[in-house]
Structures are given as structure tokens and as C-alpha cells.
Amino acid sequence: MKYFQNKYDYLILTLGLLILSLIIFFPVSSDLATFIQGGMILKNGGALYVDYFDVKPPFVYYFFEFLYSMFGKNITLYRLFDFAYQTVFLLSSIYIFNKLELNKIAIRLFSVLMPMAYTTLSFPHTFQVESLLFLPLIWYYYIGSKSLGRKYDNLIKGVLLGITINLKYTFGILLLADILYMIIQKKSIRSIIKQSVIQLFIALAVTALLFSPILISGNFHSFLDFFNYMKEYSNYPALGFNWLQASIKFGTGFFTDHYSIILLLAALYTIFYIGLKDKEIADAAKIKGLIVFFLVLYASVIIERKMLIYHQQRILPFLVFLSSMGLALIYSEIRNYKKSTLVIALFVVTIFSPIPRLINLLNYPINVISQGSRAFYSTLTEGTEGQILKKHFAVADYINANTNTDKVLLINTGGNEMICYFDSDYKYSFPQSAFYLNDKAPEYLKEKAFDNIKDTDVIILQNNDQSHIMFFNDDTSLSSIQKNLVIWDYITTNFKQDTIIEDNFIIYKRNPSN
């Protein structure tokens, strides 16, 4: 089968890749900085859950250790990697949807809309573990969609399932999506049970393999201790009316604002169309599979109780194709209307699509090309995230100009972007001060944090990083650490306040005599 049938297919793909290329110019985000910090500490000889603590599965940090060994702290190279990764995903999707003989116009639309949907999430929400999910996810769906299976298909699906679980534990819900998809395909109960058990067994074997560095190092008990502590965060926010209200608010905001009302309506049109004309559509089961995967993945967002934009992006591969399908179906029904009607419809679609946000993102390459990356990062303002990044850059600039030590400790919660701009590698253990400063923090984490403080020569302490989801109260790093009388007494005795950067980052330097 020829997947690019004419020159227009290549032009459409080129347009999609040009849109996607905007992410190359994105700056560092808080989560990307956290991943880089983990990779940096591991590359420099540290051990997970001994010298570095964070909530993602170990595989994520070993993966970033590999990336850090190649890219160091060069953010452009990480963004280039994300561009290459998403390009492979896009090409895989085009191949798969063509192989499954889905609607050709929908596939062409997907080639542009998927890069647009991903890119317009903007820099804080790209290059997440959800973004890394896209590639194994689309192949997992494809293998389950093939009309004629091969004997190794369950093995491959089990491996893919294992990889997704080790990106984020809740991604294991994909097995449920696959089971529901097999029911739609009217496979026998015996076959469904057999395939599911094989997949699960292989996924667990892959998980054991990816956990092997932790097991071999003897640090598995440290992982369990930290994992049990982190379960506190999975219980927040508490189930109830406030949680329901917040979920509706953030979910609605994602679909209508960040995704766009037009694409949402197009996806809903596909769902209703399949429901009404099920028996008339040859590939109805495959489209229903897309719908099932979309719904199950969104259910995993609700289960996590975290409705941030980047959490919800996991649904994009399936949601965008449903939108593409809907637009193709609508076009087939109105194509014979008067040209004036079509022009008006196109204008409305454009205004309420992600295109206006995409145009705004052209500021990224324009600023980088015209001002240089340093000026770009220091002047970037895109909502709250841009203001925070500007402050982090200012702190890093001050530290590089006024200290000559690598013993610089950041005590904050909400993102460690500045460590990517330090002249020296960052060496301390926590991307979030709340891990050891909140009321439920175990003693061994407090002791590790105290060891970090006793080792450092410079402390950067944030005074406005309230995060109820992390601290379980409305304290900041400053107010929280002041409640720990032992640590605060050590700081006030052995350090002297040097300056305050951007009103929010207090710099302390160790007294020469200490």
C-alpha cells in the first residue's frame, strides 16, 4: 500500500512538521528541569532514592541520565529530541491509520492538527511523560486493531504496556482499554483472558527489568519508603464536591480553551455519527477502539485527580484523530454548498481553532533569532510560567556572577528551572522542598535535607511558592522551614542573608568562619 499517494500528502506532512518545529524554540519548563536534575545527579554518580527523590518511576530518570550524558544542560538539544520523537510518532500514526484503511482526508487533517494541538499546549506542558507515551500508545492500539494477528503480537503488546507503566504507573489502565476493544471486536472470552494474562505477565517482566538498577543497587527498600510516602499526594485533592467542581472546571478549560471548541465539537460529531451509522461503516470497530482508548485514558486523568493541562494531553492521539474524522465527515456533507457558505464556515472554524494560538507562538522563534537565546529567556513572559522562568534566570545569573562554588542549594517547590543555567552541575537531592518540609514528611527525608544544608555554601530560599497540593497547607518554603527550629537555627547561625532576587528568592551565604 502506498501511504503518500500524491504530492499534496508530502506538502501536508511538511506543514505539520513546520508547525511541530516551533517546539525547538521552547525554553525549559519546571518538569523538564526536574527530569534533567534527576539525570544530572545520576550521571554524576548519585543513586535514586538515596541522592535524588522524585515521584516518577525509575525508568524516567535513567532515560534522562542517558539524555543528560548526550545533551548536558543544553535545552535546545532536549527540544530537538522532543521534535524528533514527536516526528517519529506522527509518521507512525500516518502509517498506522493508512494501514488500517481509515478515512484518507482525516489522516491528512491529523498530519497537521496533531502537531498543532501538541505545540499550542506551549512550553510548560510539552516534553512530559505523557508526551513520551504517544509512541508506544499508538503502536499498542495498532497491534490490537490488526484483523490478522501474529503469534508475537501479545509479546509486543506486553512490552509496550510495560514501557507505558514505567513512564507513569496509572498508564497501566491501557490494559483495560485493550480488553474493552477486544470485546468490541467480539473476541471470545477465553481469547480475551488469555491475551490479557500474557500481556500482564510480560508487562510485569519488563517492569522488573527496568527496576533492575534499583534492585541490584540494594536501594529497593528506599524506593518503597519513598513510594509509600508519595501515596499521600495521590489522595489529594480529597474526593467530594470541591474535587468534582475543580475537575469540571479544569476539564472544560482544557477541551474548550487549550484544545478548542471547534475540534471538540468535531470529535463529538464523530462519536455520534459512529453511534448512528454503526452498521454502515466498514471501519466502525476501529473508530470505536479509538473512542474507547480516549475515554479510558481520560478516566486515568480523573483517577489521578490531577487535571493539569499536561496530564490531559495523554488523550491527544485519539482525540485529535476523532476531531479529524469529524471534520472530514462534515466537509463531505457541506462540500456542495455555495462557496460563500464554505468561506464563512472556514472563517468560523479558523477563529475557534488552535490557529490563533499557533500564530502567537511565532514569537518564540522570532525572539530567539532576533535577540539570541539569553535575551529570549530573560524577557519571556507567557502568563505565570513565563514570569517564573524570568525570575529563575535572574537568580541563576546572580549566582554565576557572585559565587565560585558548586555548593548551591535551592529550597523551593514548583520547579527548578534555574539549575539548567548554573555554570556548575547541581548536586542536591530534592526537586521539591515540600518532600521534606510538609507536616507528613518522614524523618529520613528531613535528615537528608539537613545533610544537604550542612554541605552547602549558598542557599536560595523561595518565599512565595505556596502549593497546597504539596505542602498540605498554605505555607511557603520559607515559612515551612522556619517552623523547623533545628534547621532554621542552623541556617541563621551559619549563614548570612546576601540579597533578595525578584522579591521572591532570598540568597544566603555561609559565614566565612563556618
Q: Is residue 375 part of a domain?
A: no
* DSSP H stretches of helix in 44-120: 58-71, 75-99, 104-119
Q: Is residue 269 part of a domain?
A: yes
- Tell me how far apart the alpha carbons of residues 264 and 319 are, in angstroms, rounded to a whole number: 8
Same domain, 74 and 142: yes
The 10 Å Cβ neighbour count of residue 416 is 23
Whole-number Cα distances in Å, 145 to 96, 140, 284: 10, 9, 11
Same domain, 253 and 333: yes
Q: Contact at 8 Å (CB) between 459 and 491?
A: yes
CA 115 to chain centre: 15
Q: Contact at 8 Å (CB) between 395 and 421?
A: no
Same domain, 335 and 400: no
Which pLDDT value is given to residue 238?
67
Which pLDDT value is given to residue 310?
86
- Tell me how far apart the alpha carbons of residues 349 and 343 are, in angstroms, rounded to a whole number: 10
Q: Is residue 1 part of a domain?
A: no
pTM over 0.75: yes
CA 238 to chain centre: 23
Q: Is residue 214 part of a domain?
A: yes
Same domain, 128 and 203: yes
Give pLDDT tens digits for 421-451.
Answer: 999 999 999 999 999 998 888 999 999 999 9
Same domain, 333 and 409: no
Q: Is residue 349 part of a domain?
A: no
Same domain, 75 and 187: yes
For residue 237, cis peptide bond before it (omega within 30 degrees of 0) = yes
Same domain, 105 and 247: yes
Same domain, 322 and 410: no
β-bridge partners, 411: 461
CA 25 to chain centre: 17
β-bridge partners, 43: none
DSSP 51: T
Could you tell me if residue 168 is left (phi over 0), alpha (psi between -120 and 50 degrees) or otherwise beta? beta
Q: Which three cell numbers stand for residue 291?
A: 473512542
Domain boundary among 320, 339, 358: 339
Q: Which three cell numbers stand for residue 227?
A: 513510594
Same domain, 332 and 419: no
**Helix, strand, coil abundance in the chain, percent, nearest 5:** 70, 5, 25
Strand 505-510 with 408-411, pairing: unpaired
Q: Is residue 353 part of a domain?
A: no
Same domain, 63 and 11: yes
Exposed/middle/buried for residue 128 (C-beta within 10 Å: 0-12, 13-18, 19+): buried
Which of 193, 204, 196, 216 minimizes the C-alpha distance to 164? Answer: 204
List the chain residues with pLDDT less than 50: 1, 378-379, 381
Backbone angles phi, psi at 206, to 5 degrees: -65, -40
Q: Contact at 8 Å (CB) between 258 and 120?
A: yes
CA atoms within 13 A on the CB side of 133: 30
CA 390 to chain centre: 21
Taking the CA atoms of residue 395, residue 399, residue 400 and residue 404 in that order, the dihedral angle to the nearest 10 degrees is -170
CB within 8 Å of 159: residues ≥ 6 apart: 202, 203, 206
Q: Is residue 471 part of a domain?
A: yes
Instruction: Count the domains in the chain.
Output: 2
Which structural domain range is residue 333 located in?
7-339
**DSSP H/E element including 12:** helix 7-20
Domain boundary among 285, 309, 339: 339
Q: Is residue 141 part of a domain?
A: yes
Q: Contact at 8 Å (CB) between 149 and 183?
A: no
Strand 505-510 with 458-462, pairing: antiparallel
Domain boundary among 285, 305, 339: 339
Same domain, 331 and 413: no
3-state secondary structure of 57: coil
CB within 8 Å of 278: residues ≥ 6 apart: 284
Give pLDDT tens digits for 303-353.
Answer: 887 778 888 999 999 999 999 999 999 888 877 777 777 777 777 777 777
- Tell me how far apart the alpha carbons of residues 56 and 307 are, in angstroms, rounded to a whole number: 17
Which of 98, 93, 97 minimizes the C-alpha distance to 117? Answer: 93
Same domain, 325 and 401: no
Which pLDDT value is given to residue 376?
56
Q: Which residues of 135-163 are buried (b: 16+ CB within 10 A; e: fewer)?
A: bbbbbbbbbbbeeeeeeebbeebbbbbbb
Q: Contact at 8 Å (CB) between 86 and 134?
A: yes
Q: Contact at 8 Å (CB) between 388 and 415?
A: yes
Which pLDDT value is given to residue 241?
72
